Structure 1
Amino acid sequence: MQTLAKQVSEHATGAPEGTPLVAKELLQLGSRAAVDQVLSRLVQRGALLRAGRGIYVLPVESRFGTRAQMVEFRHAPIWQLIFPGRAAGEVVRARAWLGPEKAGEAIQKLRAKLPPSELKEVVSARSRLPTWMAQEISALVAYD
């Protein structure tokens, strides 16, 4: 059986570069205290960098040596975080990025490209979206 430190290191190196390692995501490997202790020791050894409370990243290896990554934390409204990793979530975030002025222009493109199952998910989240976006989503469904 592998040590907890080895399991955490493998988990960190298996993720894409720049992916933050969150302590809460490692609780299947051991207790919170054990995971926190291992993360702290990996930071002391230089195997990980502490980006924030409970958030760690791997140092970046380059031909010029090891360096820290630039990590930027941004606050986002909870409605922008719905449907993570799915097309429906990307639609919500894209429409938020476009804003109320330009989001209406993209509505027909979304309707043509979005699978019906993902469209239903976006429609089901209307109550959690800002009014301007919920109205646009309603208009998208009204075309059916």
Structure 2
Amino acid sequence: MKRAHAGGRGGVFTPSDFLDVAGRAAVDQALSRLVRGGKLRRLARGLYDFPKLHPKLGPLSPAPDDVAQALARETGSQVQIAGARAANALGLSTQVPAKNNYLTDGPSRRVVLGKRVVDLRHASPKHLIAPGSFAGTVVQALRHLGPVRATDVARVAGRRLSASDKKTLAKGAVRAPAWMRPTLVSIATISGGADG
């Protein structure tokens, strides 16, 4: 419980986050006891949180990114927001999707949290360029919006990416589909942007 509290309310974790403390069976039993005692909440099989509490609404749903990160930690994999979420994160879309799509180099998994879905889909390395970074979000936003909005993506990303993210983008551009490469290279060479 100390470990769960340490991250504060809103933390999401799996039994594997506690395997340095005790064996799997003991961790599973302890988590079950804490859920029964109302101290933790079971979100799905092998997935728990220490929920944030709202004075009127009670326990709030965890952030989809926190759920995705917990699932990735469990399998030692990486995740990257994808699709409409990536475009939204860059401010290029006002659409807030009910389904939160992520690409991962680990196993695919879907978790339903009330009306929201967190969907991790296994992707090949060529689709996972700079996973977990803002540069990776730019690649996924570009993939989602397509060549028609490439100029918009370049304009926003050029301003918002740090110098180190631009370097990451330039390195990863060779693995991107041919139509994306010129845009990624142009973003990487735009001067200015956030401080690295």
Q: Per the shorter chain, which TM-score range?
A: 0.5 to 0.7
**Counterpart amino acid of 1:10?**
H
Percent identity, aligned pairs only? 27
1:49 to 2:41 alignment: yes
| Structure 1 equivalent of residue 131 of structure 2 | 83
| Structure 2 equivalent of residue 3 of structure 1 | none
1:111 to 2:158 alignment: yes
Distance 2:170 2:52 in 1: 41
Q: Which has the larger radius of gyration?
A: 1
Contact 2:43-2:49 within 8 A present in 1 as well: yes
1:95 to 2:152 alignment: no
| Structure 2 equivalent of residue 74 of structure 1 | 119
Give 1:83 deviation, angstroms.
3.3
Distance 1:118 1:32 in 2: 38
The answer to which of 74-83 and 115-124 deviates more is 74-83
Partner of 1:29, secondary structure, is coil
Structure 2 regions of 5+ residues with no counterpart?
63-112, 192-196
**Counterpart amino acid of 2:135?**
A
Partner of 1:75, secondary structure, is strand
1:31 to 2:78 alignment: no
Distance 2:42 2:129 in 1: 24
Give 1:76 deviation, angstroms.
4.1
Structure 1 regions of 5+ residues with no counterpart?
1-5
RMSD, aligned CA? 3.3
Distance 2:57 2:157 in 1: 44
Quickly say closer, same or farther: Cα 1:26–1:99, change in 2 above 3 A.
Answer: farther
**Counterpart amino acid of 1:83?**
P
The answer to which of 88-97 and 40-49 deviates more is 88-97
Contact 1:7-1:29 within 8 A present in 2 as well: no
Give 1:81 deviation, angstroms.
8.1
What TM-score, normalized by structure 1, do the two folds share?
A: 0.66
Give 1:56 deviation, angstroms.
1.0
Partner of 1:46, secondary structure, is coil
Distance 1:57 1:111 in 2: 36
Contact 2:34-2:40 within 8 A present in 1 as well: yes
Bigger proportion of residues as helix: 1
| Structure 1 equivalent of residue 169 of structure 2 | 122
Quickly say closer, same or farther: Cα 1:109–1:68, change in 2 above 3 A.
Answer: closer
Partner of 1:125, secondary structure, is helix
